[in-house]
Every structure is written in structure tokens, then in C-alpha cells.
Amino acid sequence: MKKIFIIAIILTFFIENTIQGQIIDKSWKKIINNKEDAWFASSEAKEIAENVLLYQRNIGGWPKNIQMHQPISKEKKAKLIQLKKSNKDVTTDNGATCQEMLFLSKVNKFQKNEKYKKAFLKGFDYLLEAQFDNGGWPQFYPLKKGYYSHITYNDDSMVHILNVLKNIKEKNNYFSIQPSDEVIKKVEIAFNKGIDCILKTQYKQNGVLTAWCAQHNRKTLEPAKARAYELPSLSGAESANIVLLLMRIENPSKEIIKAVNSAMYWFEKTKINGLREDRLYNNKGQVISKKMVSDTNAPPIWARFMELDDNTPFFCDRDGIKKATLAEIGEERRNGYAWYKTAPQEVLDKYPLWRKKHIKKIKPKDSFNVVVAKDGSGDYYSIQEAINNSKSFPYERITIFIKNGVYNEKVKVHKWNPHISLIGESKENTIITYNDYFDKINLGRNSTFYTQTLLAEADNTILKNLTIENTAGEVGQAIALTVNSNQVAIINCKLLGNQDTLYTSGNGKQYYKDCYIEGTTDFIFGNATVFFSNCQIHSKKGSYITAASTKENTAFGYVFKNCNITADENVTKVYLGRPWRIHAKTVFLYCKLGKHILPEGWHNWSKKEAEKTSFYAEYKNTGNGFNPDKRVKWSHQLEASTAKQFTLKNVLGEHKNSSKKEWYEIL
């Protein structure tokens, strides 16, 4: 019997400590947010609620970083009772006060108690009292000297407060405790002032609204410094949750819509692709090593701190000196601080539905001249939206002007949309980008042809002053631009990618003028007749520039005239071209060839018959890469009489024997 009794004691001890251990092992925040509703009706929840009441100060708020679910000794209880009169360390930082109010509300829902209600409402009064006249909230109230008195978005402090106010004023039963109607009127005023403060503190960069700093000076509203390593900067993390709050507002004003649109544009512009954070943990789960590594498949991330003038990420140690990379930061700060965040991705994911709900489609005043703008100032937000709403088979040209911005979308100019011009505000800053590649598409052997960022299938398309890029990296075939139509002009554009950057498809004629085209392998390929004039063709790797697949009996394939053929500094072995199909035709005239061009110039792609059927030629090229005497024997150095055939009119013209204007002369 004695033995059974001992076993029972041991089991009881084990069970009690296991239950207690399960609670203690969890963080206070997780207990509040992750526990099932029924748990808040338990005696455990009631015991913890008593702790929460003990930690609350008479002013109504709570201190931060307290694991309130852990047991409190008699001695500590006595000290906490004494501390109630003190206002020291009362804050909304790190979720403090707001999360304790939420916990008491959840317990009160199942275990009604006047003490919980009184404490909740006292916390509520504290939040209202702490608000500045300008609508912001400090990190600590009563105010502490230094950065603590700034308007504080850091760690979502102000967003937490506004979410509490929003749920109260909407009477949506999120909280089981509701203040009086008189107080709710005050709540509405406080909430609106808070939103107004958010709108006023959104930072303007060169006159354009962007995002927010973690702290703003309560008098000037300008970005402000906090700790030594928290310099004035734009913040990816805090800005994300501010925007999510704005997106939850029903019937948003024009100012709110503009703020959200502008922040969306900024998030798109500042996201970092191809970078992954690797962490090493010790046996206690603490980070002991953190480093950034390249990874083309990594999801987008955003830097915690970005320069106010140009969004460049920077890092700081406790010495307050800016560094360019995380690796330059000492271990203590490097491993103990969140330098990169993924929070803006939630904004990007939710934005399309929000936009559809809140931004009404307005018919453009002039359907032949429309504007696309990421900040909402145009007729359309996305390029594809503008194309999809354009007239089919119009009798006159439709011009879609695209304001500066990063447009992360796959764009298609449909066959029924001929005579469309996509005109960017500037080549450097009007960027159309996507990151599809062969293995990602995974549709079999022809997956390459689905990877393009922009696809032009309509005749008489004009693309001008644009950057079109595929950011997939060196992961195989990944097209930036596919043109599969006739009489298409690409003017003053940058085409960026790696393998297969530009696919010139179809039986039509294409004109590329004043363009920059870069890539690694076969980065200009296809079977169209194409004239490249005054373009820079840049190799990022030792490989092949062109892979023409000119159809048999076609007069001209690729013609490069007055182009500059360049490469990265470490690239030394590049071929001008190789035949994707055996009747390939490629000619370089009056071009400057860099030293990276191999003396033999051309490659047969292990197709011996192509040496007889293809046509590879040059005329009066210059530069260290021009070695006519060392070229493969089956290529050609043209005579003047033959070279004069390769004029723009002869290659692309439709009216060769008349003075009628050609299609490319009206660009």
C-alpha cells in the first residue's frame, strides 16, 4: 500500500510539473494568442489572470517582457503590490499593455469578473491618456527622456494600440469588455487622430511617398534615431504592419488609398531577391551564428533599415557607424537582432484583393492615351490591366504611358491588341520584372517558351524607355522578352537576364534601336528577321551571344549594325553566335568587338552541315575582338558590294522600290 502511495505522489508531481512546464515553456505572447478558447475557462487561466492584475500599475499600463504566466513567490507579490504606485517602465513596447488587456478580455469571456473588467478599462484609459495631440503614441508613458518619447512604430507599438481602438469602436465583439458609448466616441476621435498621424509621417523621398521610419520626432514628424544602431531610416518591417492596418479600414479615404498604393510601390521597389538568411542554433535554441547566402530560390526579403534618400540597406553596430553588409557587424548585434524581414510579402499578397474592393475602375478620358502608375495616380495600376482594357484591333495607335516604378508582373500584348505603344517614363526607372524559369514552369521540354517576363504577340507593337528583366538568375533558360509578331520596334530599352534573355520569334520583322541587351548563353535567339542598331550587347559569361534559327530561304536573319559588343571584366571567351537551326543567318557590320570575342568568332554547335547551310558574316568591325584572319573558314568577311545590301530599308522595309514611309520611320 505504501508503495502505491509513493507511486501516486510521484505521478501527481510529474503531471503537475508537466502541465506547469508546458505553460512555462511557452512564451507569454503565444499563450495569449495560440491557446484554444476553452482554455481561458480553466483554473490555470484564472491563476495567470491574477498575476496579470498584480503586474498592472495604478496608471493602467503594464511593463514589458514579463512572462506573466510564471509562478510568483510571496516575496515578489509583495514587491509588485508596492510597485503599483510607480509609473516606471510602463509601456506599450513589445506588445505590452495591449496583450495583457487581450488576455483579461479572453478570460472574462468565460469567467466573468468585475476585477478583469476594471483592469481592462483602466488599461484602456491609459492608452487614451498616452496619445500625443498629433495622434501619435510614445514608447513609454509617462514620458521618458531620450528616444522613448518619439512617435513609436518600432515593433508595431502604435499599430497594436490602433488595432485595440479599432476593435472597440467597431463593437465587433473582439473584446468581451466594452467601454461606455461616451468613451467609444473618444475612441473614434483617438483612432482617427492616429491614422492622421500615420498619413502625415509617411516619408517623402524626392517628393514621392514611400514608407515609415521606426520612430518619428513628435514635434517635427521627421524620422528619428533610437538606439545607437537604430539610425533614422525607412523600415520594411514596421511599414508593412502599418499598411496592413490601413488596408483593414472600411471605406478608406483618398489619402489612405494613396498611402497604401505608394507603400506598395515602395515594397516592390525595395524587395531583395536571391538572398537567404542562414542561422545556427545552440542546444538552448539561441542563435549563435547568422549569415546571408545567395539563393536564387529564396523568397523575397526586406532590410530592416534603408537609407532615406535611396533605399540602400545598411547595418549598424553599437558604435553607430553604418556598414554595407551584415557580415561587418559584430556577433552580438548580428546574431541578436532581426536585420531582415518578410512581413511586406503579406502586404503584396493581400493588395490585389484590397485594390479590387476599394479602387473603382474609372474609364480613361482618352482611351487612346492612358497612364499606368504604381502610386495610383494613373488610369491603371498594372500594365496588364491597361492592355486588357484597350480596344481590340484599333484604327489608330494606343499609347500606354508607364510611370516610373517596379512592375512585378508577367505582361502579354495580345494578338488582338495591335498598334499598342508601351512607353516608359525612363529606361532606368520604369522596370517590368518577373522570375520564371525552365524548372519553375516545369511543363516539359518546351518550358522555356513560357518563362518570359513580357510577351508581344501583336503586330506593330512599340516598346520604348523600359527595362524588361528576368530576375531568376543563372538557373537555366529564363526569357525576359519574347516578340512573336511583325513590325515590332524596341527603342531605348534595357533587356536583362542570363540564358535566353531575348527570344525573337515568328516570321515577322523586328527593330531594336539604342538598346542594352545582356545575358550569358544564347541570350539573343530565334528565327525572326531582326535589325539591331546602335545597341550594346553585353556578355556576363563566356558562352555564345546569338543562336539564330533563321528559316530556309529567308533573305535576312540577325543584322547588328553600329553596335558595341562588351562583356564583364572577367569574361574572356565568347562566340558571336552558333546555329540553333542549320540555316541560321547573323551579320555584324561596323560594330566594336571587345577582346572577349574569340578569334574563331563562330561555333557550329556540333552541326557539321551548318557550316554549309548557315551564313555568318562581318564587315568593317573594329576592336580587339575583330580578328578576320582567324575566323572559322566557313564564315564570311563581306565585300563592299555585298555589305550595302544590309541597310535598314532592305532588311526591314516593306516598300523597297518606292518613297512611301516605312513602318519603322514613324516611331
- Could you give the residue numbers annotated as active site? 500, 522
DSSP state for residue 87 in the 8-state scheme: -
- Give the count of beta carbons closer than 10 Å to the beta carbon of residue 235: 25
Q: Which one, of 127, 11, 124, 119, lies nearest residue 68 by Cα? A: 119
CB-based contact 175:105 (threshold 8 Å): yes
Q: 660 exposed, middle or buried (CB, 10 Å; 0-12, 13-18, 19+)?
A: exposed
CB-based contact 427:467 (threshold 8 Å): yes
CA dihedral 520, 522, 525, 529 (to 10 degrees): 90
d(CA 119, CA 142): 18
End-to-end CA distance of the chain: 101
- Measuring CA to CA, how many Å separate 205 from each of 101, 152, 251? 38, 20, 27
Pairing relation of β-strands 369-372 and 398-402? parallel
37 SS3 class: helix
- DSSP codes joined into one string, 586-637: EEEES-EE-TTB-TT-B--TT-TTHHHH-EEEEES-BSTT--GGGS-TTSEE
d(CA 256, CA 242): 11
516 SS3 class: strand
DSSP state for residue 298 in the 8-state scheme: P
Residue with cell 544564347: 522
CB-based contact 303:277 (threshold 8 Å): no
Phi-psi region at 35: left, alpha or beta (left = phi > 0; alpha = psi -120 to 50): beta
Residue with cell 520564371: 436
d(CA 405, CA 365): 23
AA identity, residue 632 = V
Is the torsion defined by CA of 651, 657, 659, 662 positive or negative? negative
CB-based contact 479:500 (threshold 8 Å): yes
Q: Which one, of 649, 650, 651, 644, lies nearest residue 665 by Cα? A: 649
d(CA 527, CA 379): 37
CB-based contact 469:441 (threshold 8 Å): no
- Give the count of beta carbons closer than 10 Å to the beta carbon of residue 627: 15
d(CA 474, CA 416): 34
d(CA 143, CA 87): 10
CB-based contact 393:459 (threshold 8 Å): no
